[in-house]
């Protein structure tokens, strides 16, 4: 056998191999990419809230899409999902895992350099966001709408929240600082309790999504919209002339206002930790996109009380980067605003002096 | 109030999911009532994993259907073998068993079945009728009223359960202290977590319930006279129908007993036994029966059975609308609702009113379905009542451990289960109220949150609220009366053993007190307060017990069997996996009870298949090797 023939045979085999490899990769679907593997899911919410409700509906659809993948979910709402996220970031390379969290809460924990945040949330691979809400500051019906009057209100206004680490609590504290309205933050109010407290007059104001559920209360006048915070899809019952900007104190730092808007506009989202291979991330993105854009699924989720609006991975990533405040000056402003908001909530001071710095 | 057709359509529309949950719940309720030593409370824990096959509402429907009929089938062993599952079923034995001995078991069963069904339906209708009133009341309810309600509920339960007032209050304090473990919602400070991130979200409720109730109950030596268990129940259709006719002839008694059940069911802490015995007493006072009570009077079966089932409708009101459980079984139900993911509270009167209607429909329909199910299923499964308890024990413990672990398969959860079991065994041995501990655990956070909200929003001005003042007055009157009657009855009930248990509790409260002082001010108030209360109470028990060390013990403490095997079983689960260890445990205990090897192995295999199938269906770990999968799952936290 001549040397040339051998070379030709080798080249032929090599080409055939390449062709086969190409065919097989062309046939590799996201489903087959993830088949016969275990997908670990960390749901950073309690098993009774809206996050759990969304996951329960979504997971059924996901199981249909990935029939050959084992999906193993755990609820871990410790520190608003920060502990679970930390666990995910420690997984060894190649592990298939995702987290389902509310990113602003984790971003805020990272900015505050809380001890349990031993990861950089920027390294997360975003799969998809599932919500984009339009938020307002809702108020009880008799509350005056003039900011100057609100700043002098006695006794102190009450802003009900679920717990001090929740996004709406953080936003409420920051709003104290940037609007100069010193609301007392009172914990232990679940979502339905907050609405009830406002209608009953036990609380004065809180941030809420201006969705279809709120519309009858706004229309009947049981609750009023004090000002809009984030988003643009408000119905006619919301007074769009009163925006957060019209309530700000003159020296309110732009970075804090921007943080508040991003935090309130950003809903729950799925991410994959750095351990997940880029190919797997792509496969997950593709499957999640299919589900979240499926009209039947959107209708099913809405009927379960969890309205869905898909947000692309790029948009989530951009929103998160905005939240994480890369420059030190903005971080300091945010920290100052937070501490000042807390002091105002406690009734220790009446306003923040941002301009002095 | 929705019509019957609307209620039925609530459970049947949108596929058969809810209706299947209702039917299966009714069937499992029958099984729980029949199986010796299971009953309503333990049945909820054991069958909890099945509830997870549905969405939260489906799971709640399953559990409620189960709980609605458990007393219906519990009357079968009570009447046929004089085996009551609970104190509430004991009233049925007094006249039911003599009737059975007279050859009138069928008649007694028919009367019990129909009285239970009518009682259950009346209870559900009363619950529906109360909804508008509850809505009205709720409009005047804010955190101060919830605080008073939580405190009243806690103290009523502590006062009215167990054999001693102080030990009841001490058990409730322990429950509140355990509930305070985790992140404080107002300051985000860690409380009693000892640096373990797994404890930051608090103690696992399924582990606490299983450990406190199932393990001690199952390991305690069986005290009833087992003779005659294998006697066949001779019932004919005509006898059963005759019994049902007898119930219809006593409609006044049925309605009166049902009202007793509803009224007492609504009052936190009074429990089902009070309702049942009150209606039995009423029946014995007013009956014109030729057969004396205690010798086989049919009214003695009808009255307690009607009250037993109707009280569920009453107990649903405080449990569902205010988050205050009306009884210890409702406290377990409240915990189960948290696990299946159904939030309870005022939302069930407003935004989630449909859930309330669906649960009322569940109670109503489950009681009606129970009648044909009795005829169709009971002849086949009635043999369950004749099962030896020793055969049920290993399954019940393995299933309760499974119920605790399925949500969080971590060794910390296992440790919590074992710790709760140890507490449960100690409390059962000394007859301290375990229900008070559970209520403290469930209602402690509600009381704390309400306290924070009240102090921050109203302060002392809460006493200017008319609703608060009315509630305070009512609770003071009831509380003082209950405390006085309890003190009279049980002032000499402490023994040396109580002091021995109170001493380590005293040390724990001293440590908790010291630790609480170091917490940030917002996070420390409740742990500090409860530690001081616990410290005083445990000190009182220790002193009183040692002062009376010469007095004869007024009760016979139950002893425990198979404790060592159970501890070993729990300890080895993280290493060998739950299904494999459960199978070995079943074989060991069944062999010890004298079962043949083939039966023991067969039962163990059946349990192994059930557990592994559940894991595969719920958690999708079918494809993983059993042992390595569980070691990984147990130790890695995933």
Task: Quote the pLDDT of residue A357.
Answer: 45
- Interface contact B352-A192, CB threshold 8 A: yes
- The answer for B 447-466 residues in CB contact with A (under 8 A) is 449-450, 452-453, 456-457
> B365-396 b/e with 16+ CB inside 10 Å = b?
bbbbbbbebbeebbeeebebbbebbbbbbbbb
Out of A52, A164, A304, the one facing B186 most closely (by C-beta) is A164
Q: Smallest Cα–Cα separation from A227: which of A311, A317, A147, A161?
A: A147
Task: Quote the pLDDT of residue B383.
Answer: 63
Q: Which residue has the higher pLDDT, A285 or B104?
A: A285
Dump the DSSP string for A82-100: HHHHHHHHTSPTT--EEEE
* Residues B410 and B634: beta-carbon distance below 8 Å: yes
Q: What span, in angstroms and rounded, lies between the C-alpha atoms of B351 and A190?
A: 13
CA triplet B374, B377, B382: central angle to 5 degrees? 85
Q: Which residue has the tokens 């004396």?
A: B292
Mean pLDDT of all residues in A273-289:
94
Res. A291 pLDDT band, cuts 50 70 90 = very high
Burial class (CB in 10 A: 0-12, 13-18, 19+), B479: middle
- Interface contact B457-A186, CB threshold 8 A: yes
Q: What span, in angstroms and rounded, lies between the C-alpha atoms of B39 and B44?
A: 9
Task: Quote the pLDDT of residue A143.
Answer: 92
Res. B46 pLDDT band, cuts 50 70 90 = confident
C-alpha A190: how far from chain center: 18
Task: Quote the pLDDT of residue B638.
Answer: 41
Structure token digits, residue B232: 């066949």
Mean pLDDT of all residues in B363-388:
75
Res. B620 pLDDT band, cuts 50 70 90 = very low
- Rounded to two decimals, what is the model's pTM? 0.78
Q: Which residue has the tokens 């248990």?
A: B501
Contacts of A65 (CB under 8 A, 6+ apart): A31, A287, A290, A291
> A144-171 b/e with 16+ CB inside 10 Å = b?
eeebeebbeeeebbbbbbbbbbbbbbbb
pLDDT cut 70: percent of chain B above it: 81
Find the distance separating the first CA and the last CA of chain B, reported in whole Å.
46
- Interface contact B457-A71, CB threshold 8 A: no
Strands of A269-272's sheet in order across:
A70-75, A38-43, A97-101, A269-272, A125-129
Q: Smallest Cα–Cα separation from B176: which of B159, B197, B151, B200?
A: B151
Q: What span, in angstroms and rounded, lies between the C-alpha atoms of A132 and A102?
A: 12
Res. B228 pLDDT band, cuts 50 70 90 = very low
- Interface contact A77-B201, CB threshold 8 A: yes
* Residues B262 and B317: beta-carbon distance below 8 Å: no
Q: Smallest Cα–Cα separation from B342: which of B114, B33, B58?
A: B58
Q: What span, in angstroms and rounded, lies between the C-alpha atoms of B607 and B628?
A: 19
- Interface contact A193-B456, CB threshold 8 A: no
Is the CB of B142 inside 8 Å of chain A's CB atoms? yes
Please provide residue A271's backbone torsions phi and psi, each rounded to the nearest 5 degrees. Answer: -140, 160
Q: What span, in angstroms and rounded, lies between the C-alpha atoms of B517 and B503?
A: 22
* Residues B278 and B260: beta-carbon distance below 8 Å: yes
- Interface contact A83-B197, CB threshold 8 A: yes
User: What distance separates the 2 farthest-apart alpha carbons in chain A?
Assistant: 101
**pLDDT per position as a tens digit, A195-233:** 888 888 889 999 988 877 788 888 888 899 999 998 877
Please provide residue A209's backbone torsions phi and psi, each rounded to the nearest 5 degrees. Answer: -70, 130
Task: Quote the pLDDT of residue B104.
Answer: 83
Mean pLDDT of all residues in A316-329:
83
Find the distance separating the first CA and the last CA of chain A, reported in whole Å.
86
Q: What span, in angstroms and rounded, lies between the C-alpha atoms of A48 and B603?
A: 35
Q: What span, in angstroms and rounded, lies between the C-alpha atoms of A266 and B145?
A: 36
Mean pLDDT of all residues in A249-278:
90
Residues of B in contact with A38 (CB under 8 A): 620-621, 623-624
Task: Quote the pLDDT of residue B156.
Answer: 67
Please provide residue A351's backbone torsions phi and psi, each rounded to the nearest 5 degrees. Answer: -160, 165
Mean pLDDT of all residues in B3-14:
67
Is the CB of A49 inside 8 Å of chain B's CB atoms? yes
Query: Strand A70-75 vs strand A38-43: parallel, antiparallel, or unpaired?
Result: parallel
Structure token digits, residue B168: 């009841």
Strands (E), A242-307: 269-272
- The answer for B 170-209 residues in CB contact with A (under 8 A) is 183, 185-188, 197, 200-201
**pLDDT per position as a tens digit, B164-177:** 778 888 998 999 99
Cis peptide before B601 (omega within 30 of 0): no
- The lowest-confidence range among A319-328, B126-135, B445-454 is A319-328
Torsion sign across C-alpha atoms A190, A191, A192, A198 = positive
Q: What span, in angstroms and rounded, lies between the C-alpha atoms of B372 and B352?
A: 32
- Interface contact B185-A164, CB threshold 8 A: yes
Mean pLDDT of all residues in A83-111:
89
The DSSP output letter for B220 is B
> B74-104 b/e with 16+ CB inside 10 Å = b?
bbbbbbbbbbbbbebbbbbbbbbbbbbeeeb
- Interface contact A52-B201, CB threshold 8 A: no
Task: Quote the pLDDT of residue B269.
Answer: 61
Mean pLDDT (chain B, rounded): 79
Task: Quote the pLDDT of residue A191.
Answer: 79
- Interface contact A70-B185, CB threshold 8 A: no
Q: Which residue has the tokens 């073998």?
A: B81
User: What angle do the packed helices B87-101 and B105-139 form, to 10 degrees?
Assistant: 160
Task: Quote the pLDDT of residue B625.
Answer: 39
Q: Which residue has the tokens 């057709």?
A: B5
Contacts of B37 (CB under 8 A, 6+ apart): B85, B217, B218, B222, B389, B392, B393, B396
Mind telling me how many Å the CA of B535 is from chain A's nearest CA?
A: 28
H/E element, B320: none
Task: Quote the pLDDT of residue A185.
Answer: 93
Q: Smallest Cα–Cα separation from A37: which of B590, B28, B621?
A: B621
- The lowest-confidence range among A263-267, B379-383, B459-463, B540-544 is B379-383
**pLDDT per position as a tens digit, B400-413:** 888 777 666 677 88
Is the CB of A336 inside 8 Å of chain B's CB atoms? no
- The lowest-confidence range among B29-38, B269-278, B425-434, B479-488 is B479-488
Res. A248 pLDDT band, cuts 50 70 90 = very high
Q: Which residue has the tokens 């007190």?
A: B513
Residues of B in contact with A53 (CB under 8 A): 56, 341
Dump the DSSP string for B454-518: HHHHTGGGGGGSHHHHHHHHHHHHHHHHHHHHHHHHHTT---HHHHHHHHHHHHHHHHHHHHHHT
Task: Quote the pLDDT of residue B622.
Answer: 36
**pLDDT per position as a tens digit, B526-572:** 899 999 999 999 999 888 877 766 555 555 555 667 778 888 888 88
* Residues B343 and A48: beta-carbon distance below 8 Å: yes
Task: Quote the pLDDT of residue A144.
Answer: 92
The DSSP output letter for A102 is -
Task: Quote the pLDDT of residue B551.
Answer: 54
Q: Does the structure show a pLDDT above 60 at B230? A: no
């Amino acid at each position: 056998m001549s040397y040339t023939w051998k070379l030709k045979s080798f080249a032929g085999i090599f080409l055939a191999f390449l062709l086969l490899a190409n065919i097989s990769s062309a046939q590799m679907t996201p489903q087959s990419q993830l088949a016969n593997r275990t997908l670990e899911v960390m749901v950073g919410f309690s098993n009774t809230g809206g996050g759990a409700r969304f996951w329960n509906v979504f997971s059924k659809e996901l199981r249909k899409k990935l029939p050959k993948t084992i999906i193993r979910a755990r609820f871990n709402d410790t520190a608003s999902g920060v502990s679970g996220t930390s666990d995910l970031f420690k997984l060894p390379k190649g592990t298939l895992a995702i987290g389902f969290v509310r990113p602003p809460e984790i971003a805020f924990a990272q900015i505050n350099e809380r001890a349990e945040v031993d990861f950089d949330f920027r390294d997360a691979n975003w799969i998809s966001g599932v919500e984009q809400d339009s938020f307002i500051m809702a108020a009880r019906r008799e509350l005056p709408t003039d900011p100057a009057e609100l700043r002098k209100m006695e006794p102190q206004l009450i802003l009900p929240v679920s717990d001090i680490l929740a996004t709406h609590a953080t936003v409420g504290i920051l709003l104290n600082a940037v609007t100069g309205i010193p609301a007392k933050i009172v914990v232990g109010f679940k979502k339905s309790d907050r609405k009830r407290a406002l209608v009953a007059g036990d609380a004065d104001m809180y941030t809420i999504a201006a969705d279809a559920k709120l519309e009858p209360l706004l229309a009947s006048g049981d609750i009023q919209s004090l000002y809009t915070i984030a988003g643009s899809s408000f119905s006619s019952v919301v007074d769009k002339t009163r925006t957060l900007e019209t309530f700000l104190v003159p020296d309110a730092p732009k970075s804090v206002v921007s943080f508040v808007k991003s935090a309130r506009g950003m809903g729950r989202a799925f991410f994959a930790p750095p351990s997940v291979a880029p190919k797997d991330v792509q496969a997950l993105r593709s499957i999640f996109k299919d589900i979240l854009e499926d009209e039947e699924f959107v209708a099913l989720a809405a009927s379960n009380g969890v309205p869905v609006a898909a947000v692309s991975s790029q948009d989530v990533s951009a929103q998160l980067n905005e939240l994480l405040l890369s420059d030190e000056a903005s971080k300091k402003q945010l920290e100052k605003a937070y501490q000042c908001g807390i002091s105002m909530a406690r009734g220790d001071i009446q306003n923040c002096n941002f301009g002095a710095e | 109030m929705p019509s019957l057709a609307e209620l039925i359509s609530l459970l049947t529309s949108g596929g058969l999911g809810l209706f299947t949950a209702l039917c299966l719940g009714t069937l499992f309720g029958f099984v729980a009532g029949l199986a010796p030593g299971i009953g309503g409370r333990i049945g909820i824990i054991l069958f909890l994993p099945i509830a997870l096959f549905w969405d939260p509402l489906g799971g709640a429907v399953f559990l409620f259907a189960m709980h609605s009929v458990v007393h219906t089938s519990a009357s079968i062993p009570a009447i046929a073998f004089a085996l009551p599952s609970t104190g509430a079923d004991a009233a049925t034995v007094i006249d039911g068993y003599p009737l059975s001995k007279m050859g009138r078991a069928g008649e007694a069963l028919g009367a019990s079945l129909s009285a239970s069904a009518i009682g259950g339906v009346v209870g559900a209708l009363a619950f529906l009728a109360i909804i508008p009133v509850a809505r009205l009341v709720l409009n005047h309810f804010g955190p101060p009223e919830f605080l008073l309600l939580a405190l009243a509920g806690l103290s009523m339960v502590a006062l009215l359960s167990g054999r001693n007032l102080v030990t009841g209050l001490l058990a409730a304090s322990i429950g509140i202290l355990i509930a305070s473990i985790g992140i404080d919602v107002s300051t985000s400070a860690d409380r009693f977590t000892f640096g373990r991130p797994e404890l930051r979200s608090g103690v696992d409720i399924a582990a606490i319930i299983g450990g406190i109730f199932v393990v001690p109950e199952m390991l305690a030596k069986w005290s009833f006279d087992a003779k005659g268990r294998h006697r066949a129940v001779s019932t004919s259709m005509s006898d059963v129908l005759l019994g049902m006719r007898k119930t219809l002839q006593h409609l006044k008694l049925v309605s009166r007993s049902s009202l007793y059940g509803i009224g007492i069911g609504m009052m936190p802490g009074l429990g089902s036994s009070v309702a049942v015995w009150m209606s039995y007493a009423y029946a014995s006072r007013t009956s014109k029966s030729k057969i004396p009570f205690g010798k086989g009077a049919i009214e003695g079966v009808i009255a307690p059975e009607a009250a037993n089932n109707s009280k569920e409708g009453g107990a649903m009101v405080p449990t569902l609308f205010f988050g205050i459980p009306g009884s210890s079984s409702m406290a377990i139900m409240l915990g189960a609702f948290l696990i299946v993911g159904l939030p309870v509270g005022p939302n069930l009167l407003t935004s989630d009113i449909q859930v309330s209607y669906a649960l009322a429909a569940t109670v109503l329909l489950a009681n009606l379905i129970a009648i044909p199910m009795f005829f169709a299923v009971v002849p086949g499964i009635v043999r369950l009542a004749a099962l030896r308890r020793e055969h049920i024990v290993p399954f019940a413990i393995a299933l309760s451990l499974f119920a605790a672990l399925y949500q969080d398969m971590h060794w910390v959860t296992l440790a919590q289960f074992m710790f709760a079991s140890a507490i449960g065994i100690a409390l059962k041995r000394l007859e301290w109220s375990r229900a008070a501990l559970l209520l403290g655990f469930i209602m402690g956070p509600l009381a704390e949150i309400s306290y924070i909200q009240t102090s921050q929003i109203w302060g002392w001005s809460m006493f200017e609220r008319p609703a608060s003042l009315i509630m305070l007055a009512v609770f003071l009157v009831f509380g003082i009366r209950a405390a006085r009657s309890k003190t009279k009855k049980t002032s000499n009930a402490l023994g040396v053993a109580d002091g021995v248990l109170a001493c380590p509790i005293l040390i724990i409260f001293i440590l908790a007190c010291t630790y609480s002082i170091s917490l940030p001010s917002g996070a420390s108030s409740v742990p500090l307060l409860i530690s001081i209360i616990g410290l005083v109470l445990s000190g009182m028990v220790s002193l009183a017990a040692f002062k009376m060390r010469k007095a004869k013990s007024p009760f016979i403490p139950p002893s425990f069997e198979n404790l060592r095997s159970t501890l070993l079983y729990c300890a080895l689960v993280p290493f060998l996996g739950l299904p494999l260890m459960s199978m070995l445990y079943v074989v060991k205990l069944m062999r010890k009870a004298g079962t043949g090897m083939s039966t023991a192995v067969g039962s163990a295999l059946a349990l192994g298949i059930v557990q592994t199938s559940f894991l595969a269906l719920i958690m999708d770990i079918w494809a993983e090797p059993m042992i390595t999968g569980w070691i990984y799952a147990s130790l890695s936290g995933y």
